[in-house]
Chain A
Amino acid sequence: MSLRTRHPYETRLQRWGRYGFLVLCTLIFIFLLAPIVAVAPLALNDDPYLSFPIRGYSLRWFVEVFTDPTWTLAIRNSLLIGGLATLLSTTLGTLAALGLSHSNLPGRRLIMALLISPMIVPVIILAVGAYFFYSTLGIANSIAGIVLAHAALGLPFVVITVTATLSGFDHGLTRAARSLGASPFTAFRRVMLPIVWPGVLSGALFAFGTSFDEVVVVLFLGGPEERTLPRQMWTGLREQLSPAILAAAVLLVAFSVGLLVILEILRRRNVAMRGIRE
């Protein structure tokens, strides 16, 4: 049934079916990618509104994103919140994944289900609950509340990627290091960490991406000061569609392409490190 090899016994109907299938897939790929590609030329539009066709090109909207104080503050806030949330979820998530890699640990499945649930529970429900709860703690309308909620949202990604990396890890290696006199910490740092760090890093990237893209929590938990990049875009989309939003969108696409490339490199490295052929 392979799609690329030649099919000598294929009937005409089957051949047309195969071509039809390939055409369908091409259309779906266009559907997937066209919106992302379409944003770029419009961001270069010289006009102050999203008109089409484009009359003149300029970089003025990119300049605005990098110079306008509302946008620069939003970028700074996004990086700060994303960084702190990533640090929190990666540290705690990696430690927990190490614990969860123990085979036949009682309650493992339940703990995993709990740790992954922030991915499933609708963000708006978490945001509303966090608003109520952090109000009683006095950290609603602050960076701290947003960081905590974002770290919770990023956590499942760290746990999933690090446990996946650890599932192929040969614990005999750390035992060998221990039997040769290494302390548990040294064995972790010198033997385990070099092998699992691609998993940790890709978990961290997932977590950062989640926080960097998150707007619902920021809408509910952020005061007027806590403007982030997505929140700035959201406000802009509800009020007036300025091409500056598209410029920000293009920058974010470039950012995701960067993340994706790093993740792919990490994945390959991970596969090579563990000697697994896929």
Chain B
Amino acid sequence: MSSDAPALIESTTIDPASGGGSLPPPGPSLNDDLRRRLRRTEWRGHLRAYLLIAPLLIFVLVSFVLPLSTLVYKSFHDPVVPTGLPLTYKALREWGGPRDEVPTEPVYAALANDMKAAKRDGRAAEIASRLNIEASGLRTTFMRAVRRIDSVESGPWKPYFAGVDPAWESPTTWATVRNLADTNHGLFFLSALDLRKSSQGDVVRQPAEQRIYVEVFIRTIGISALVALLCMAFGFAIAYLLAHAGDRTANLLMILVLLPFWTSLLVRTTAWIVLLQKEGVINSMLLGIGAISQPLPMMYNKFGVAVAMTHILLPFAILPMYSVMRQIPPSFVRAARSLGASPTTAFLRVYLPQCAPGVAAGVLLVFIIALGYYITPALVGGAGDQMISYFIADNLTRALNWGLASAMGVLVLAAVLLLYWAYDKLVGVTNMRLG
């Protein structure tokens, strides 16, 4: 019995030691007044509990939920161009011509007005950058027109635009502009999946040389799965050893497992760089004893990433497996053996099924954490081993395509939350223990 009065109503017998003995036994004799009072106490207890939780929930809202919501919002909300060129889009709608034609004069006039306004407000560069993300080269096209727009008082505007940059006479340019008409759209998700909207407005695949991200997603899943499998194999052995060693030994070995777990991630990555690099410890030693004549390439490739990540994530696999294995009564396997099972059969048919929840928890946890890894692959991997997080960071800081960074983030987030949900169903997050 752990909490206030409510448990008294539910339990059919009252444990005298728990201090509930002074209350009348529950059942038909329990009068309504007492029932009401108990319910009120229960309600008050819950209210108190919620009040204790409330500050943290508010904090989590500000420091966690709202940032993630902003990310999700940015992945589809993209108002720069539509709000920057409102008259142009209005004129385009009124014109309504087919996508393989160049619009008529009123659209150009509207664009000129929008450009003048944008130049006045200092928003022209922002619009140009956004257009450039959709089709590289549009920044120049746009800014050329902006630069000289004030020197022209009135139309006709079509010759002016054609004069500053012939791209303004191309239907492709206008199709790109029309693709950005909505403030909320799925274009970023399309490019995160190597798709794009064609000038005809259909969804098509990117040209082969521009396809990057599908491969990156597959690679991320591949590396994570490899690391999860390695952690499962190594972790199972260590967890088994710990669970079947004597208490004293198990405690000591546990500390050896927890030490790397507690060591800074950067320290461990540094250590692997020191060990694996061309002039590193392993290569020097192997060269020294004459086992190899050339340094082995162990870093800046998939091998280095897999080794370093397995090392870093192994404790996450060991801990849940160990806590499950420790609770398996040894008598089960003994019973199976005494009933004639061979050690292998007893292990496979009696022991292993009972380990399954721990193994699943460990593997899933490692896989989930590995999916979002950034630091270790960035430092130990080569250009071809970077995982999705690297490209999120790259789009955020270098390419400045925040929408795409957000869309990729949302895809990873969705995958992780789905797996987290599975983890909760399988293990229950409330049962999570540390060490």
- List the interface of chain A (C-beta within 8 A of B): 1-4, 14, 21-22, 24-25, 28-29, 31-36, 38-39, 42, 50-53, 88, 92-93, 95-96, 98-106, 108-109, 111-118, 120-126, 128-134, 136, 148-149, 151-152, 155, 157, 159-161, 163-164, 169, 171-172, 175-176, 206, 209, 212-213, 215-216, 219-220, 230, 233-234, 237-238, 241, 245-246, 249, 252-253, 256-257, 259-260, 263-264, 267
- List the interface of chain B (C-beta within 8 A of A): 1-4, 6-7, 18-19, 45-46, 48-53, 55-57, 59-60, 62-71, 74, 234, 237-238, 240-241, 244-246, 249, 253, 255-260, 262-275, 277, 279-281, 284-285, 288, 311, 314, 330, 333-334, 343, 347, 351, 368-369, 371-375, 379, 389, 392-393, 396, 402, 405-406, 409, 412-413, 416-417, 420, 423-424, 428-430, 432-435
- Mind listing 25 A-B residue pairs with CB under 8 Å? A1-B244, A21-B241, A32-B256, A39-B270, A92-B55, A93-B56, A95-B55, A99-B49, A108-B430, A111-B57, A122-B413, A123-B374, A125-B392, A132-B67, A149-B67, A155-B59, A155-B60, A169-B2, A206-B434, A230-B266, A245-B270, A253-B263, A253-B264, A257-B259, A257-B262
- Residues of A contacting B393 with CB < 8 Å? 124, 128, 219-220
* Pick from A1, A29, A42, A172: contact of B330, CB under 8 Å: A1
Contact A3 B64, CB 8 Å, known A129-B70, A216-B375 = no
For the complex, would chain A's binding face be called helix, strand, loop or mixed by DSSP majority?
helix
* Pick from B71, B234, B375: contact of A132, CB under 8 Å: B71
**A133–B6 CA distance with the chains assembled, in angstroms:** 42
**CB–CB A126/B266 < 8 A:** no
**CB–CB B379/A102 < 8 A:** no
* Pick from A38, A121, A252: contact of B264, CB under 8 Å: A252
**CB–CB B260/A32 < 8 A:** yes
**CB nearest neighbor in B for A166:** B2
Contact A256 B263, CB 8 Å, known A116-B432, A129-B70 = yes
How far, in Å, is A237 (CB) from chain B's closest CB?
6
- Residues of A contacting B257 with CB < 8 Å? 32
**CB–CB A106/B46 < 8 A:** yes
**Would you list the 9 A-B pairs with minimal beta carbon distance, nearest first?**
A122-B372, A99-B52, A129-B67, A35-B271, A129-B71, A96-B56, A99-B49, A99-B53, A152-B63
**CB–CB A88/B67 < 8 A:** no
* Pick from B263, B274, B402, B432: contact of A246, CB under 8 Å: B274
**CB–CB B3/A125 < 8 A:** no
Contact A237 B379, CB 8 Å, known A4-B246, A39-B270, A129-B68 = yes
* Pick from A36, A42, A121, A128: contact of B260, CB under 8 Å: A36
**CB–CB B52/A95 < 8 A:** yes
**CB–CB A124/B392 < 8 A:** yes
Contact A36 B259, CB 8 Å, known A4-B246, A124-B374 = yes
**CB–CB B433/A134 < 8 A:** no
**CB–CB A260/B258 < 8 A:** yes
**CB–CB B424/A128 < 8 A:** no
* Pick from A157, A163, A241, A259: contact of B273, CB under 8 Å: A241
**CB–CB A112/B429 < 8 A:** yes
**CB–CB B60/A3 < 8 A:** no
How far, in Å, is A26 (CB) from chain B's closest CB?
10
**A152–B57 CA distance with the chains assembled, in angstroms:** 11
- Beyond contacts A50-B279, A129-B70, A230-B266: 18 other A-B pairs, Cβ-Cβ < 8 A, are A2-B330, A4-B245, A21-B237, A35-B272, A51-B279, A53-B284, A105-B50, A118-B60, A124-B392, A128-B405, A129-B69, A129-B409, A155-B56, A159-B56, A213-B264, A216-B375, A249-B264, A260-B255
**CB–CB B263/A36 < 8 A:** yes
**CB–CB B3/A171 < 8 A:** yes
**CB–CB B19/A24 < 8 A:** no
- Residues of B contacting A106 with CB < 8 Å? 46
Contact A35 B268, CB 8 Å, known A42-B274, A50-B274, A237-B379 = yes
- Residues of A contacting B238 with CB < 8 Å? 25, 28-29
How far, in Å, is B407 (CB) from chain A's closest CB?
11
**CB–CB B416/A122 < 8 A:** yes
**A267–B351 CA distance with the chains assembled, in angstroms:** 29
Contact A32 B67, CB 8 Å, known A42-B274, A125-B372, A246-B270 = no
Considering residues A33, A100, A133, A134, which has the most beta carbons from chain B within 10 angstroms of its beta carbon? A133
Contact A148 B237, CB 8 Å, known A237-B270, A260-B255 = no
**CB–CB A161/B434 < 8 A:** yes
**CB–CB B413/A25 < 8 A:** no
Contact A96 B330, CB 8 Å, known A14-B343, A36-B271, A129-B67 = no
**CB nearest neighbor in B for A231:** B266
**CB–CB B432/A160 < 8 A:** yes
**CB–CB B396/A104 < 8 A:** no
**CB–CB B256/A39 < 8 A:** no
**CB–CB A160/B434 < 8 A:** yes
How far, in Å, is B348 (CB) from chain A's closest CB?
13
Considering residues A106, A126, A219, A238, which has the most beta carbons from chain B within 10 angstroms of its beta carbon? A126
* Pick from A50, A95, A101, A149: contact of B56, CB under 8 Å: A95
- Residues of A contacting B64 with CB < 8 Å? 117-118, 121, 126, 152
**A114–B259 CA distance with the chains assembled, in angstroms:** 28
